[in-house]
A and B are shown apart, each in its own frame.
Chain A
Amino acid sequence: MPFLEDIAIAFIEPCVADPGRVRLYAEPSRDLAEVLPYLNAVVNHAAYNKDGPSLTFMKEFRLITIYPRRITMSKAQNTTDAWQVLDWLKDLINDTYDRRGSITPVHGVRWRPTALQIYEWLPRTNCKACGEPTCLAFAVKLLLGERTPQECEPLFLPEHASLRRAFFEIVAAFGYPAPPGR
């Protein structure tokens, strides 16, 4: 019996950062916390946040975040693409788990999103409420640690709920915890 038997998609919506694509979250059939540091070692370009814990990385153009009991994916091409990538991920997780005796787990961050990648998940209105002239400037400051996610107030408006969820998946990569509630 494999370590992970199934990953079931639980929710799909159009991707906020790119309306032609889809965003989804899925539920693994078991807790993944223990494999995350091993996956971090295998994936090689992931951001592991041990306080979450969570592991974020790009699979080509898709942004994937793995939490112990949830997997999110943004910018999948469509549901066929999403299923295909989740199958790949399931195999990767099982293979990593099987080989964990010979893998040195890595607890550090090996990848950081770029300011442009963060920018895609901001409201992109340049409303200046955060005190920065543009959303991109805010993204740069966020990466430098000079701003915190909470300072973009529009992000917490109800109409940006799904943008906010995706935003926190990407900033989880450098240590910001997801806000309570989904």
Chain B
Amino acid sequence: MTDSTERWGKPVCVPGDEDRDQERGSGGCLAGSMADVGIYMDNAASSFPKPEAVIEAMADFLRNVGGSSGRGAYRKALEADKIVFRARQAVARLLGVADVSRVVFTANATESLNLAIKGLLSPGDHVVTTSMEHNAVWRPLKAVERRRGVTISQASCAHDGTLDPADIEALLRPNTRLIVMTHASNVTGTLMPVAEAAAIARARGIPLLVDCAQTAGVHPIDIERLGLDLVAFTGHKGLMGPTGTGGLYVRGGLDLVPLKDGGTGGDSMLEHQPEWLPDRFEAGTLNVCGIAGLGAGVRFVLEEGVERIREKEAGLLRRLLDGLSEIPGLEVYGPRDPARQVAVVSLNVRGVPAEEVASRLDREYGIMVRAGLHCAPCAHRTIGTIQRGAVRISLGYFNTEGDVDRCVEALAGIARAAG
């Protein structure tokens, strides 16, 4: 299976797929086969493939359960309710949260970040963030700046994306109402000093909002031990769930203005959104089908173990970084150290536009990566690639050493041709 054209466009089940599944260490738990899709290395955008259990949970819900949660007295509706509860419980366990009701489900990390930022900040407030944020943080901040007169300070990160927590502290003002930072950059994979920031935030009594879109499921997070106040996560990346799922952890005692108002099921008598969680922030019929899949994804992560997932990804990343370091004419961004980042690497091939590299990797080698600014212009400005963007390779739990080797070979080929 070295010839990419052979791999490309194959029917779903070809002899040898089982071997590849074995190689992926998935124990046959993978949905479908990778043979027909090439080598997927865009896991920072959305993880693929999904564990078979995720697809089964969603199909089972659609086929056998139906019903919306929290809104019926008949057994199927209660079953839907239980599915949602079990998913919430799995997320709480994974993220180190004792009270399951503090985990609010949303459509994705973007909604969670909007809820936290817009639900907390009022006119005259000041907010501190970093120069490595995704637009899912940056745009809601710019929106409250324009509409509510909130002021923003941005801590500058180094070229490899690393942040000195003292730079956060230096920007705090008497009216600082919130600190927002990503847990790991979606461009360079750089891990941020969240524990240090949490200590600073706690000492000043300022809530800290952490964007865990890139870390939930692939890097350990212990919310209550770290004392985090607000944590946004998305369901379709490291948590292995479907798109359209995500959530926000809200610390007890911290209130937010809901983003939306509407029906929440059991408490129709009240004229306002209820005060208790999670109902307060979950108006409207939940994405129960998606949440069923998310629950199965998180249980998969719990069973495999985040440490083990992290270890495997770190090993693949080490192999990738070593391979890339041998190729002349490459610029690789970020810490280039598995201990200081998640398995996301951005790079450029000297003399070749990022989009062309990505497109050639796809067409000639069947390798899927992403080029451009990755919805994070701040981060690209920080690493010096705001003009040309970069090629982003993001590994997942189901990638293999063989995938990494083929990716390195392909990039070497493209760089050689350009040189």
Interface set of A (CB-CB < 8 Å, partner B): 8-14, 19-22, 77-81, 83-84, 87
Contact = CB atoms under 8 A, between A and B. Distances in A.
Interface of B: 69-70, 73, 75, 78, 81-82, 85, 88-89, 99-101, 264-270, 274, 276-279
Contact of B82 (A9, A19, A22): A9
A19 B269 contact: yes
Contacts of B279: 78, 80
A79 B73 contact: no
Contacts, number: 64
Nearest to A87: B89
Contacts of B73: 11-13
A79 B270 contact: no
A106 to B, nearest CB: 30
A81 B269 contact: no
Given A77-B276, A79-B85, A9 B78 contact: yes
Given A20-B269, A20-B274, A78 B85 contact: no
B267 A83 contact: no
A80 B268 contact: no
A87 B101 CA distance: 13
A8 B267 CA distance: 21
Contacts of B269: 14, 19-20
B78 A80 contact: no
A79 B274 contact: no
B267 A80 contact: no
A12 B101 contact: no
8 A-B pairs with least C-beta separation? A19-B269, A83-B85, A80-B101, A77-B276, A22-B266, A78-B279, A84-B100, A9-B78
A3 B268 CA distance: 37
Given A78-B70, A83-B81, A83-B82, 13 more contacts: A20-B269, A20-B274, A22-B267, A78-B265, A78-B278, A79-B69, A79-B70, A79-B265, A80-B88, A80-B278, A81-B101, A84-B89, A84-B99
A78 B264 CA distance: 10
B268 A14 contact: yes
A112 to B, nearest CB: 29
29 contacts: A9-B78, A9-B81, A10-B78, A11-B73, A12-B78, A14-B266, A14-B268, A19-B267, A19-B269, A19-B270, A20-B267, A20-B270, A22-B267, A77-B276, A78-B264, A78-B265, A78-B278, A78-B279, A79-B70, A79-B81, A79-B266, A80-B85, A80-B101, A80-B277, A81-B101, A81-B276, A83-B89, A84-B85, A87-B89
A21 to B, nearest CB: 8
A14 B72 CA distance: 11
Contacts of A81: 101, 276
Nearest to A9: B78
A84 B101 contact: yes
Contacts of A22: 266-267
Given A14-B268, A20-B269, A84-B101, A78 B78 contact: no
Most chain B beta carbons < 10 A, residue from A9, A20, A21, A78:
A78
A57 to B, nearest CB: 21
A91 to B, nearest CB: 13
A8 B81 CA distance: 11
A122 to B, nearest CB: 19
Contacts of A20: 267, 269-270, 274
Contacts of A13: 73, 266
A14 B264 CA distance: 12
